[in-house]
Structure formats: C-alpha cells, structure tokens
Amino acid sequence: MSRRRWLIVVLSFAVALGVSAYLVWSGWTKHGAPPLLPWWAHVAVLGLVGVEILARGLKLHWSAAAIRVKLRLGSAIRVILGGDFAAAITPGRSGAEPARFVVLAEAGLPAASIILVLFIELFLELVSLVLIVGAMAVVFRGAGGVIGLMVGVIGAWMVLVGAAAVIGWYLSHRNTRGKPPEWARKLGFKAGAWRRVQHAMRALRASVASLRQARPLALVAATIASAVHVAMRLSVLVVIVQSVAPETALAPLLLWSLVIMYGSSIAPAPGGGGAVEFSFKLAFASLLAADVLAGSLIWWRVYTFYLYMLLGALAAGSTVLRALRERPEELLAEAPDAPEAEPA
C-alpha cells in the first residue's frame, strides 16, 4: 500500500476512535464511571471469539472438502484471519478477497479451485444468514421496522452474491480465448496475465460442472459451521450488555447487532471511518444508559473488529500486505496452474 493509502487508513481509524472516545467521555461525565466489564464477561466473550474463528475455519475447510480440494484446517483459519486484516485496512473491505486468494495460493491451491472455494464459502454464508434471519423474524416478529431493515441487509447480500455468480459465469463462457478486453487492460492485466485468467476460467468452468458431484455431507457441515459463526458474532453484544445491564431486552441487541455488522460492510472508509460507532449510538441511544452505551460500544468493537485485525496481522500480515500492493498478474502468479480444461 502507498503512503497515501496508509494516510487514509490512519485518518479513518482516528475518526472511529474519536467517536468512541467522545461517547466514553460523555458517559463518564454523566455517570462518573469508566466502561468496565466484569472479568467473567471477558472470558465468555473470548470463548465466543474462539468458537467463531474455529467455525469459520471449519466452514472453509469443509467447503473445500465438498469439491474434493485438500485444505488443512490451520491453513483455512489463516485464510479467514488474513482476510479480516485486509478488510480492516482497505476501503469497503475491498482487500479481503485478494488477501484470501494469496493465502490460499500459498497453501498450494490452483486458481480455479481458489475461486470456487471462496464462492462456495460466500454462498453458504448467505444461506446461513437467511436461515438465521428467518428464525429471528419468527421469534421476534413484533420487532417491526428492525426486521424489515434486517431483511433489506440480507437482500443486499443476495444481490452481491448473485452478481458475483453472473460475472463468474460470463467470464468462464465468454472470455476464455483471445486478447485481453479493454476493461481488463484498464485493470492492469497484460497479455501474459490474461492468458492465466483464461486458463483459470476454463478450469473453473470444468470445476463448476463438478459441483454436481459435490459431497452433500460436507456442504451441510459447512452450512452448520457458518450458522454457528454468525450466532457467535451476534452473541458477543448480548454477553457484553447483559453483564452490566441484565434487564436489557434481547431482541434489539440481536437484531441491531446483525444489521450493523453486515450493513457496515458497505462503509467505504477503512475500519468504517466512524460509521459503525455512529450507527451503534443511533440504534441503542434510547435503549441503553450513556455509560452502558459507551462501554458496550468500546468492548463490542474490540471483540468483533480490533481483535480480529490484530490476529489477522499476526497470522498473515506480511502476506496480506504483499497481496494489497501487487498487481493482478502478480496475484495470479501466486496460484499454481490448474489442469487445462477441454474447450466446450
């Protein structure tokens, strides 16, 4: 990343931390108490984080196993943590997939398999979200507008996944021969890199056809792991708030937590640029006292964002930074060649 991009990251994080500091200070001056949690709450939340990371690793591991691609659990966990780190320091989380691609390439997966595994993992994330949102809509059917907003967020995810599927289908069927088109040249693809793209897309077309023989038990296991991961993420705020304000209703904590977590992924600034903190205050200002609001925000962000960024930096920081500064052709060079697919 260039110095200019690092400056944007620093400024975005400064704004986010500034909003958090303001909320802490305003709550402290009103109630005279710092935003502290009991020790058992920290232990419980760290347990949730550990289970969530393991569940996501298992989801990626079983997603690969479903299409007979060997991916060790340790490598899968490194992939998801590296993606978290890249997402945290890039606008709109745009660096997550290039980073995950390179980490998977380091694990020895060919380009076509990487693309297919990442798409299956994303699709299963959507399936688990739909299941959880459906269950929450039934259990908390009196929540009204929050349910509608939550459904809208999931609808946006469905559009993104559908767009990715359409683009992948188009590339694998229309652009597997010939010179790079104009849009590819503008993205930095030269002739050699575009040949690798063509090679990967032809192999991807054959790999997609192999989904018909995917292992159903592995797909079911990956879906369950995805649902566990979402449930653990949503439970973090519940444990934090309930530890200091046990009278707080569960429904708004769960519903707004999902809306903010997945809705904030479209924030253009690295780390949200204060959008997450502002949304949190807007959602819970009428529900939580000022000191509880400030403390809950601080610890919720620590355990759902900053901790993952730190773990990702430790697990795959150098790989992520290399992925973010390399050109498209260099990223493709990281992945081994897939077997040549026969043209249709």
pLDDT tens digits for range 290-327: 878 888 988 999 999 999 999 999 998 888 888 777 65
Q: Which two tokens stand for residue 114?
A: 């990487």
Confidence of residue 151 (pLDDT cuts 50, 70, 90): low
What's the whole-number mean pLDDT along residues 71-98?
A: 89
What CA–CA distance (Å, rounded) separates 264 from 267? 5
pLDDT confidence of 44, banded at 50, 70, 90? very high
The domain locations on the chain are 3-334
pTM (2 d.p.)? 0.81
pLDDT of residue 290: 80
Distance CA 150, CA 67 (A): 32
Burial 315-325 (b: 16+ CB within 10 A, else e): bbbebbbbbbe
Residue 222 φ/ψ region, left for φ over 0, alpha for ψ in the -120 to 50 degree band, beta for the rest: alpha
| Residue 178 DSSP label | S
Separation between Cα atoms, residue 92 and residue 103, nearest integer Å: 20
Rg (CA), the chain: 21
DSSP symbol at 306: I
Model confidence at 174, pLDDT cuts 50, 70, 90, reads low
Distance separating alpha carbons of residues 315 and 93, to the nearest angstrom: 18
CA 303, 155, 158 angle in degrees (round to 5)?
90
